[in-house]
Amino acid sequence: MNDLLRSTAEALSDHPELAVFLISLLPIFEIRGGVIAGLALFGMSVPETLLWGFLGNIASVTPVLLFLEPISKWLYGNRYADRLFHWLFARAERKAAEVNRWGVLGLTIFVGIPLPGTGAWSGAIVAVFLGMHRWRALAACYAGVVMAGIIVTVVTLGGMAGARTLTNLP
């Protein structure tokens, strides 16, 4: 995954804002990968990195939240689509118990804690599976993306400071 992030970032090195936006757009990276690329690879400022990372992450998740349910209903009965949606909602069902207990706050925390299998994409699918109100789910995902961006920023800056300290040792 690191090689994919690095090669994507290098290919877009002349346009770091676009690189952070596109990296954050991808479900495998989301804002987490965008922040790391913006700060560590491109040397962008924190506000600029968070802005482009947030915009990229929500640009991909907003349509999922708004249109996944209507599209899945429209494609109901299609053999290939049924298989895809069955797999997608089975994954969501495994994660839904924790989110459902806390509602919108649970969704925000689920999206905001940067662990594997969490994030805005997974959160959006869980929200659709649970039948959450779209606009509340959208607000929870947006807040979670901000939370994840801040957490990853702090960890990245700490790691960069630690690496600089280690490289300056005699």
Model pLDDT for residues 4-21, shown as the tens digit of each residue: 767 776 777 789 999 999
pLDDT at residue number 113 = 94
Q: Flag whether pLDDT at 161 surpasses 90.
A: yes
Side-chain-facing half-sphere of 18: CA atoms under 13 Å: 7
Question: What was the pLDDT predicted at 52?
Answer: 98
Please give the C-alpha separations between residue 101 and each of 73, 95, 108, 114, 136, in angstroms, as whole numbers: 26, 11, 12, 20, 15
Dump pLDDT digits (tens) for 77-134: 777 777 777 777 777 777 787 788 899 999 999 999 998 889 999 999 889 888 899 9
User: Is-contact 147 54, C-beta < 8 A?
Assistant: no
Per the structure, how many domains does the chain have? Answer: 1
SS (H, E, C) the chain: CHHHHHHHHHHCCCCHHHHHHHHHHCCCCHHHHHHHHHHHHCCCCHHHHHHHHHHHHHHHHHHHHHHHHHHHHHCCCCHHHHHHHHHHHHHHHHHHHHHHHHCHHHHHHHHHCCCCCCCHHHHHHHHHHHCCCHHHHHHHHHHHHHHHHHHHHHHHHHHHHHHHHHHCCC
The b-or-e profile of 26-39 (16+ CB within 10 A means b, else e) is beebbbbbbbbbbb
Rounded Cα distance, 24 and 59, in Å: 9
Confidence tier at 1 by pLDDT (50, 70, 90): low
Confidence (pTM): 0.85
Q: What residue numbers bound the domain in which 20 lies? A: 2-167
